[in-house]
Amino acid sequence: MSAFQYRDGQLYAEAVAVARAAETVGTPFYCYSTAALQAEYRAFDAAFAKIPHMICYSLKANNNLAVMRTLLELGAGADVVSAGEMHCALAAGVPADKIVFAGVGKTAPEMAAALDVGILQFNVESIPELELLNQVAVGKNRRAPVALRLNPDVDARTHAKISTGKSENKFGIELSQAAAAYAQAAAAPGIEPVGLALHIGSQLADLSPYRAAFGKLAAMAVELKQSGLPVKHLDLGGGLGIAYESENPPSLAEYAAIVEQTVGILGLPIIFEPGRRLIGNAGILVTRVTYVKEGVNRTFIITDAAMNDLIRPMLYEAYHDIVPVAQSAPDGQSRKVDIVGPICESTDIFAEQRPMPPLAAGDLLAIFSTGAYGAVMASSYNLRPLAPEVMVNGNEFAIVRPRPTYADMIGRDRLPGWFAAGGKAKK
């Protein structure tokens, strides 16, 4: 059941009226539900009760400290793809030995920082990366724990822009090169090979690509072990989809069955890296209608949220359900409208020709399923302040990331010394 429900004609986040939060915080703002986040984590964890496992939450979905801390208190580790995300996980209290560092472009300073804190493993995605990591580790007189990320050449049948497991994608080492790469890792003085990893894409609604990819991963693990190379655990990544519109995402029980049938039979501990599945439907973006613009052929609902706050509709043609915070009358006449933001771009659109009840300036709207890849992909384009983030817990709510002031934003800049005190360039 969703944590966002109507009560007495008003949308609530758990036991907090969304309109009340809007009065306190101002719009637009993101709102996350503690209860929804906890329920998703517990369901994921329970689905794999038969398998030794660790859940490393993927911070790229949402890197708010309060979100990470909520999951940490349930037992989660962290999957990070940058030094920034690693420091965020550490700041939230995640033990270093529960952090997995993935990503195709790790730099030497990032590798050194991760070695210094003692992370669980690096998911290495290329031979050049392996060689650089070896150099950095040797320079520190250490051995870096490495899981080799495979590219299984499996079509995840998801959006082309979020597919990561096909041969033409930049991610992972191709299967034909994997055995030699693993042997190279085992022979390197600064590398300790600990396992294999993969991640074939995001927002998967079909389990058959998982079955194919996991089968290839299992076969490679058996081949490596038979050749005398150590394989201590497997990392299956994430990617399970959620319902945005009419999707019917796989159940956790169905997913767990495939894991058990493919890699579970090997008896190895497994790392999972869910992100969207945990936080996606635990968040909404709340915005206020600024104008209703009646055109000749279209009606535009102009909101105070924009593509800089939520870029997914523009970037992926993504659908998000949008509802009024004040529930419309059951017999209200709906009409098709375009819901758009105020940014000077034609692509600043949340929904086109969406049936909506009558709306007026000042009305609040909630954009659903924005917990993942919402705030983390936001920008200050048009010098718009980033939307604040709020977390709800029962009948309480708190601002967990405040809205920056204009002074904060403009204060990031520094005028070079050749400008005079009055702001004019020296001649």
Task: Kindly state the helix (H) or strand (E) to which residue 210 belongs, with its residue range.
Answer: helix 208-226
Give CA–CA dist 2/35, Å, rounded: 9
With 0-12 / 13-18 / 19 or more C-beta atoms within 10 angstroms meaning exposed / middle / buried, residue 3 is buried
Asked, as a colleague might, if the bond just before 28 is cis with ω within 30 of 0, I would say: yes
- CB 68, CB 92: distance < 8 Å: yes
Give CA–CA dist 386/223, Å, rounded: 49
Q: Which two tokens stand for residue 427?
A: 């001649």
Task: Kindly state the helix (H) or strand (E) to which residue 139 belongs, with its residue range.
Answer: helix 127-139
Q: Which two tokens stand for residue 295?
A: 């055109």
Strand-strand pairing, 16-17 and 10-13: antiparallel
Q: State yes or no: is 31 an active-site residue.
A: no
- What is the residue-wise DSSP string for 348-411? -EEEEEEEE----TT-EEEE-S-SSSSGGG---GGGPPPPPEEEEETTEEEEEEPPPPHHHHHT
Q: Phi/psi class of residue 140: alpha, beta or left (left: φ > 0; alpha: ψ in -120 to 50)?
A: alpha
Q: Across-strand partners of 123?
A: 147
Give CA–CA dist 232/329, Å, rounded: 58
Burial call 196-221: b when 16+ CB within 10 Å, e when fewer: bbbbbbbbbeebebbbbbbbbbbebb
Give CA–CA dist 170/132, Å, rounded: 18
Judged by DSSP in three states, 301 sits in: strand
Give CA–CA dist 136/124, Å, rounded: 14
Question: Annotated catalytic residue: which of 31, 56, 88, 344?
Answer: 344
Give CA–CA dist 414/408, Å, rounded: 12
Q: Which residues are catalytic?
A: 344
